[in-house]
Structure 1
Amino acid sequence: MVCKKCEKKLSKVICPDKWKDGSRNTAVGTDRKLSENKLLSKPGKNRFKPYENKCKICKSRVHQEHAHYCQGCAYKQGICAMCGKQILDTSMYKQSSK
């Protein structure tokens, strides 16, 4: 679960869009080169540990970039996985602890 503000921070797909008129890869003035391998072009990213963050609640590894909470804990608490802002009121939910 991600709030509206954090939706902009979500990572983009590596392969470019096929539809040229409304796709993200037709923007003028971008630094994207044609036939560029996106995995090799990021110099600071560690390929072997892409997501080094751990969940603040259960200490397990998160599966999203820039996230502080894992998906399970964010859903149980009703919070945004990236910023921790309350999204859902889970006071009337009956959830298991597993």
Structure 2
Amino acid sequence: MVCAKCEKKLAKLANPDVWRDGGRNNTSSSSKTGGRIIGQNMLLKNKGGFSVGKANPYSSKCKHCKCALHQQGEYCSQCAYTRGLCAMCGKAIVDVSMHLMSTT
């Protein structure tokens, strides 16, 4: 769970473009439509794997249990839920002192 401030920072789901002229997923070779190249080596195209704007999913770890996070943040979903914290910034959202929060 995330707070209202961090909700707009959540990662967007990968959704392909609609198949039409001008979409990034078409295979036309004209440069103005932005088509993709068939059979291109993506490792050579991206030069290093992770771009500057993308988060490395293997580098960010939960502050409490040290497991790998699936998106940018401070805590994993399970630790954030049991402590009532925002998973991205660590701010307390819910007072869980009187709740029975199971860890399973």
| Normalised-by-shorter TM-score class | 0.5 to 0.7
Match runs of 1:1-98 below 5 Å: 1-16=1-16, 45=50, 50-51=56-57, 52-64=59-71, 66-98=72-104
For structure 2, which runs of at least 5 residues remain unmatched after alignment?
Answer: 19-32, 37-41
Task: Report the alpha carbon displacement of residue 13 of structure 1 after superposing the two structures with TM.
Answer: 2.1
CA RMSD of the aligned region, Å? 3.0
Q: Which has the higher contact order (CA 8 A, sep 6+)?
A: 1
Q: Distance in 1 between matches of 2:60 and 2:3?
A: 19
Q: Distance in 2 between matches of 1:8 and 1:55?
A: 21
Structure 1: 4+ residue segments shifted above 4 A: 33-36, 40-44
Please, what TM-score do these two structures have when normalized by structure 1? Answer: 0.63
Q: Distance in 1 between matches of 2:75 and 2:98?
A: 22
Q: Which residue of 1 aligns with 2:30?
A: none
Give the number of the structure whose residues are more often helix, by fraction: 1
Residues 4-48 of structure 1 show CA distances to partners (whole Å, capped at 9, x for unaligned) of 100111111222576xxxxxxxxxxxxxx7556xxx6876727xx
Distance 1:77 1:83, change over 3 A: same
For structure 1, which runs of at least 5 residues remain unmatched after alignment?
Answer: 19-32
- Tell me how many residue pairs correspond in the alignment: 79
Structure exhibiting the larger radius of gyration computed from Cα positions: 2
Please, what TM-score do these two structures have when normalized by structure 2? Answer: 0.60
Q: Give the share of equivalent positions with the same residue, in percent.
A: 47
Distance 1:94 1:7, change over 3 A: same
